[in-house]
Amino acid sequence: MQSQVLDGGFATAPLDAAHAFRAIMTAMAQPGMIMSVTGAVPPAPTSVAAGVALLTLCDPETPLFLGGGHDTQALRDWITFHCGAACVAADKAQFAYGTWDALPLDAFALGTSEYPDRSATLIIELPELTNSGAVLRGPGIKDQAHLSLPDIAPFQRNAALFPRGLDFIFTCGDRLAALPRSTRIG
């Protein structure tokens, strides 16, 4: 087994996972807030923030879809070793990771009216993550927030499906932000 597969996980898993989980939940509760995270060193081209999110959110019970250039054997092996998550087709995934253009948005589960929690969460790797661009409103936002989204129309359509819809975590370097399905985009 290559050392790159064995390396790069949380050094002190319980403590690092707790800090990471809190950062992810804070970002989800306050859309547009950008959080810095540490603790993971995943195989390239995966960012630190995406690695932290994968280590924190994935386990043997959470099927994962990897899209485009992030669907590498090195990343699959790293996820298998550190998380135990199975890589599956998009329509079976609870979590997905890749770039905006590499993820087939229409293929992921949106939940149902009875079980909206059965939708997917997409971890999107962005080249830039800033508090500029799209205007965000809704739960967890005092007046409005801003976030550099790759496109606005798909997020507006997603918000219109509430309580169904996808949740998003955006990553870039060691930073992440979240966009739950309840957020309205302007």
What six digits make up the tokens of 50?
A: 């995406």
pLDDT tens per residue across span 43-93: 999 999 999 999 999 999 999 999 999 999 999 999 999 999 999 999 999
pLDDT tens per residue across span 9-40: 777 888 888 999 999 999 999 999 999 999 99
**Is the separation of the CB atoms in 136 and 185 below 8 Å?**
yes
Query: Looking at the whole model, is its pTM more than 0.85?
Result: yes
pLDDT tens per residue across span 108-152: 999 999 999 999 999 999 999 999 999 999 999 999 999 999 999
Burial group, residue 51, by CB count within 10 angstroms (0-12, 13-18, 19+): buried
How many C-beta atoms surround the C-beta of residue 134 within 10 A? Answer: 19
Domains of the chain: 3-185 (3.40.50.11310)
Q: How many residues does the chain have?
A: 186
Q: Which are the contacts of 5, defined by CB distance < 8 A and separation ≥ 6?
A: 43, 74, 77, 78, 81
What's the DSSP call for residue 42? P
Q: How far apart are CA 74 and CA 80, in angstroms?
A: 10
In terms of Cα–Cα distance, which of 90, 82, 94 is closest to 43? 82
